[in-house]
Structure 1
Amino acid sequence: MHTSWLTAEQYSSLSSQVQGAFIAPLPAFESLLIGGVDNRKYLQGQTTCDLDQLTNDNFLHGAHCDAKGKMWSQFYLATIDEQLISIAFRDEMAASSAQWKKFGVFSKVSFSSGQQQYAVFGLGGDNIATLISELGFAVPPIGSVSRYNGALLLALAEGHFLLLAPLDTAKQLMAQPLPFAAPNVWLAQHIRYGYSYLEQPLIGALVPQMLNLQAIDAISFTKGCYIGQETVARLKYRGGNKRAAYILQANSADLPAAGTDIEIQLGENWRRSGQVVNAANINNQLWLIAVLPNDITPADSLRLSSDSAPALSIVPLPYSLN
Structure 2
Amino acid sequence: MQTSWLSADQYASLSTEVQPAFLSPLPGFQVLKISGPDNRKYLQGQTTCDLNQLTADNFLRGAHCDAKGKMWSVFHLFSQGEDLLVVAFRDELQASLVQWKKFGVFSKVSFDQTEQPHAVFGLAGPESQSLIRQLGFTVPQAAGQLVRNGEQSLLCLAADHYLLVLPQTELASLQQAQLPLAAPTLWLEQHIRHGLAYLEQPLIGELVPQMLNLQAVEGISFTKGCYIGQETVARLKYRGGNKRAAYILSAETDETPVAGASIELKLEDNWRRIGQVINAVNINQQLWLLALLPNDITPADSLRLAGEQPLLLSQHALPYSLN
Distance in 2 between the 1:299 and 1:174 partners? 48
* Letter of the 1:100 counterpart: W
**Structure 1 residue 117: deviation in Å?**
2.2
Partner of 1:107: 107
Cα deviation for residue 115 of structure 1 reads: 8.1
Which letter does structure 1 place at the counterpart of 2:28?
A: A
Whole-angstrom distance in 2 between the partners of 1:249 and 1:274: 15
Alpha-carbon distance in structure 1 between the residues aligned to 2:129 and 2:238:
40
Q: Which residue in 1 is equivalent to 2:216?
A: 215
Mapping 1:74-113, distance limit 5 Å: 74-113=74-113
Q: How many residues align?
A: 322
The answer to which of 164-173 and 276-285 deviates more is 164-173
**Residue 135 (structure 1) aligned with residue 145 (structure 2):** no
Per-residue CA distance 1:135-159 (angstroms, 9 max, x = gap):
1001112211110021000000010
TM-score (norm 2): 0.97
Tell me what 1:313 maps to. Answer: 314
Measured at CA, do residues 114 and 125 of structure 1 come closer, stay the same or move farther in structure 2, by a change above 3 Å?
farther
Shift of 1:88: 0.1
Question: Which whole-Å CA distance do the structure 1 matches of 2:187 and 2:39 have between them?
Answer: 31
SS in 2 for 1:16: coil
In structure 1, the gaps of 5 or more residues are none
The more displaced of 9-18 and 244-253 is 9-18
State the AA in 1 paired with 2:218.
Answer: D
In the other structure, the counterpart of 1:191 is 192
Q: What is the CA-CA distance between 1:7 and the residue it aligns to?
A: 3.9
- 2:229 partner amino acid: G
Whole-angstrom distance in 1 between the partners of 2:250 and 2:313: 6
TM-score, length-normalised on structure 1? 0.97
SS in 1 for 2:226: coil
Whole-angstrom CA distance in 1 between matches of 2:189 and 2:115? 24
- Does the 8 Å CA contact 1:262/1:304 hold for their aligned counterparts? yes
User: C-alpha displacement at 1:116, in angstroms?
Assistant: 4.8
Higher deviation after alignment, 44-53 or 171-180? 171-180
Which sections of structure 2, spanning at least 5 residues, go unmatched?
Answer: none
- By how many angstroms is 1:172 displaced? 2.4
Change (3 A) 1:106 1:4: farther
Partner of 2:180: 179
Do the aligned partners of 1:63 and 1:208 also contact (CA within 8 Å) in 2?
Answer: yes
Residue 67 of structure 2: aligned partner: 67
Question: Using a 3 Å threshold, how does the CA distance of structure 1 residues 40 and 193 change in structure 2: closer, same or farther?
Answer: same
How far off is 1:292 after superposition? 0.1
Taking structure 1 as reference, are residues 15 and 45 closer, same or farther at Cα in structure 2, changes over 3 Å only?
same
* Secondary structure, aligned partner of 2:264: strand
| In structure 1, C-alpha distance between the alignment counterparts of 2:77 and 2:6, rounded to whole Å | 24
- Deviation track 1:201-220 (CA, whole Å, cap 9, x = no partner) reads 00000000000000000000
Give, as a single letter, the amino acid of the residue that structure 2 aligns with 1:203: I
Local SS of the residue matching 2:139? coil
Contact kept in structure 2, 1:6 and 1:171, CA below 8 Å? no
Between the aligned partners of 2:78 and 2:6, the Cα distance in structure 1 is 24
Cα distance, 1:168 vs structure 2: 2.3
> What's the Cα RMSD here?
1.3
Q: Is the 8 A contact 2:266 2:303 kept in 1?
A: yes
> Counterparts of 1:91 and 1:268 in 2: how far apart (Å)?
39
Deviates more, 1:307-316 or 1:37-46: 307-316
Q: CA separation in 2, counterparts of 1:251 and 1:215?
A: 29
- Name the CA distance, whole Å, in 2 between partners of 1:134 and 1:229: 42
SS, match of residue 310 in structure 2: coil
Counterpart residue identity of residue 10, structure 2: Q
Per the TM alignment, residue 15 of structure 1 is displaced from its structure 2 partner at its CA by 1.6
Amino acid at match of 1:146: V
Give SS of 2:162's match: strand
**Residues 314 and 64 of structure 1, relative CA distance in 2, 3 Å threshold:** same
The structural deviation recorded for 1:176 is: 3.3
Question: Which residue type is aligned with residue 81 of structure 1?
Answer: G
Deviations 1:74-102 (A, max 9, x none): 00000011100000000000000110011
Partner of 1:231: 232
Matched, 1:167 2:164: no
* Pairwise CA distance, 1:131: 0.5
Distance in 2 of aligned mates of 1:188 and 1:204: 24
TM-aligned CA deviation for residue 318 of structure 1: 0.2
Task: Deviation per CA, 1:39-79: give whole Å up to 9, x if none.
Answer: 00000000000000001100000000000000000000000
Query: Are 2:188 and 2:281, in contact at CA under 8 Å, matched by a contact in 1?
Result: yes
- Report if the CA contact (8 A) 2:2-2:119 is conserved: no
Q: Structure 1 residues 318 and 199 mapped into 2: Cα distance closer, same or farther (>3 Å)?
A: same
Contact kept in structure 2, 1:30 and 1:115, CA below 8 Å: no
Q: Give the match for residue 280 of structure 1.
A: 281
SS class of match (2:202): helix
